[in-house]
Amino acid sequence: MELRGRGWSILAAAREVGVSRTTGNNWSRGYKTYRNGAAVGFVPALERLAVREISARFLSQDERIEIADLRRAGLSIRAIAGRLGRSPSTISRELRRNAVTGNDYRPFEAHRRATARRARRHRRRLEITPELQRVVAELLSQRWSPQQISRHLRARFPDEPRMWLCHESIYRAIYQPGSLLLRPSPLAPQRRSPLRTGRDHRRAQRRGELRRPRFEQPMLTIHQRPFPPEDRSQAGHWEGDLITGAHNQSAIGTLVERQTRMVRLLHLPFRDGDSLHAALTARMRDLPAALLRSITWDQGSEMARHTTIARSLGAPVYFCDSRSPWQRGSNENANGLLRDYFPKGTDLAIHSPEHLLAVENELNSRPRVVLQDRCPTELFTALLESQNPSVLRR
């Protein structure tokens, strides 16, 4: 709800906190409840201030429930205050302000009333001072940063504190939903935001100790791999990635064996960790341990369940450094070849597993200069035949 208050879309806010779009819609707009196919009720949308973490000096909903219980039990205001560790005047004010009628105190209604009073909006100095608003808008249209504007206002109006603003106040005015400051500048009409970042909302920030890790821990980096990137003397080490379709809504998994350049494709109904786990285990389970020694992947969120994948395959998963595609050179080269079959900007979900297998076979049957004009299928088949055949029948 904080992100929605800053102007984020429901989809963007839901993605940021890690819930589905449907859940975000339900929280933001409310939803009907059904029984036997008929609507029987409606759950209202969340109130932004009601779900916000507030200071402990304000009464919480749990405390209001306890006040109601103790009041019905006949305890005095001072006794209730002693039980809660609050001042008697706090309890007296609460009962006077939020009781429905007389002594009828309902805790949930009282909490809603208190939340509504906290929603009072204070007008910003930028809104009540037209001249200040004009100066700030003019400088923003010239692509000045909020810090530059803040310093300029103090230098231009040294004796008028009402014309001063800190840069944070300017940022808040820009990020406010429906802000008049979000308009294209004359010389840069292609950019709606006056900020150099191009943002029209504030990026969500979380304290380090509250930030959820993106991946299961521990993560193995490519620097912990027991061989250098240029060493291809041992078969069974794979590099993997996704090629994505239009608007990143569909994807195909790609795997390349480092020594033979053998390509394997993964059909993914969804672009998430569970789908990748299922596709990897189904596609790679026919390989003996000698031909499945490790997998190297980039830091895409689809590999968030890498420890589960490593246990299922019996092979460790290593991660490349951020923005370092050359650490998976064979896979990147194969992805470029695959774009002949799966162009960028197209829907990749329309391709069946059978079609992916046909593309895979055609690509693996081409001779490669790096393999002395032999094809990956020839080399990989030779490796398979040299392994224990009983393992391949499982």
Domain limits of the chain? 2-46, 50-118, 121-195, 220-392
CATH of the domain spanning 50-118:
1.10.10
Do the first three CATH levels of 50-118 and 220-392 match, i.e. the same topology? no
Half-sphere exposure of 107 (CA within 13 A, CB side): 15
d(CA 237, CA 257): 6
Residue closest to 252 by CA, chosen among 229, 222, 283: 283
Cβ-Cβ contacts under 8 Å for 216 (sequence gap 6 or more): 304, 305, 306, 307, 308
Coil, strand, or helix at residue 255? strand
Q: How many CB atoms lie within 10 A of CB 227?
A: 13
Determine the length of the chain.
394
Q: How many CB atoms lie within 10 A of CB 63?
A: 20
d(CA 291, CA 285): 11
Coil, strand, or helix at residue 62? helix
d(CA 152, CA 356): 61
| 174 burial via Cβ count (<10 Å: 0-12, 13-18, 19+) | buried
Backbone angles phi, psi at 206, to 5 degrees: -130, 145
Predicted local distance difference test score (pLDDT) of residue 239? 97
d(CA 87, CA 80): 9
CATH of the domain spanning 220-392:
3.30.420.10
Predicted local distance difference test score (pLDDT) of residue 387? 59
Predicted local distance difference test score (pLDDT) of residue 276? 94
DSSP string, 168-214: HHHHHHHHSTT-TT---BTTBTT--SSSTT--SSPPP---TTTPPPS
CA distances from 335 to 149, 215, 259, 264, 300 (A): 47, 24, 17, 11, 15
Angle among Cα 257, 263, 267 to the nearest 5 degrees reads 120
Predicted local distance difference test score (pLDDT) of residue 392? 32
What is the chain's pLDDT, residue by residue, as a tens digit (394 residues)? 888 877 788 888 888 888 898 999 898 888 888 887 788 888 888 776 666 667 788 888 889 999 999 988 989 999 999 999 999 999 999 988 888 766 688 888 888 888 777 766 678 888 899 999 999 999 998 889 999 999 999 999 999 999 999 999 999 898 887 788 888 777 778 777 888 888 877 765 555 544 556 677 788 999 999 998 889 999 999 999 999 999 888 999 999 999 999 999 999 988 888 899 999 999 999 999 999 999 999 988 899 889 999 999 999 999 999 888 899 999 999 999 999 999 999 999 999 999 999 999 999 999 999 999 999 999 999 998 885 543 333 2
Are 79 and 147 in contact, with CB atoms under 8 Å apart?
no
d(CA 394, CA 391): 6
